[in-house]
Amino acid sequence: SPGSKVLLHFINQSGAKTSVTATEGESLLDIVINKNLQIDGFGACEGTLACSTCHLIFDESVYERLEPMADEEMDMLDLAYGLTKTSRLGCQVIVAPWMNGMTVRVPQGIKDQRVTQEAKNKQ
Ligand code: FES
């Protein structure tokens, strides 16, 4: 039912695990911000698909069950640092009850596409 609570585990860049209670319908970006998860540079474009800093890595069994990617997410994800076969953009992944107990990993580095773009424009 809408508003049901889901337990999620985040593993940060240094390998530390934080467990949070999320609410169905929130994005993973919302959770990082609302729970103050302290991931450097995460979610720089506030979910507007312009930065790729919300890159997260999923277990394969979870990844396979996620909603399909829109082209816009695919294009932005392609530019993410340390892309894996089970990567997604956290601002596009919405919490569902079946995710209860899942573990999400933060990649080792972050690359903000907007900064890359600015640097290019200055050249
Ligand atoms: Fe920028 Fe997700 S927060 S693409």
* ipTM entry: 0.99
- Residues sharing a CB contact under 8 Å with residue 39, sequence separation 6 or more, in sequence order: 10, 12, 13, 32, 106
Whole-angstrom Cα distance, residue 43 to residue 50?
A: 10
Write out pLDDT tens, residues 58-95: 999 999 999 999 999 999 999 998 899 999 999 999 99
Write out pLDDT tens, residues 12-46: 888 899 999 999 999 999 999 999 998 888 999 99
- Best of 42, 52, 116 for a ligand 1 pocket test (most atoms within 8 Å of beta carbon): 52
- Best of 26, 32, 39, 51 for a ligand 1 pocket test (most atoms within 8 Å of beta carbon): 51
Determine how β-strand 17-23 pairs with β-strand 55-58. unpaired
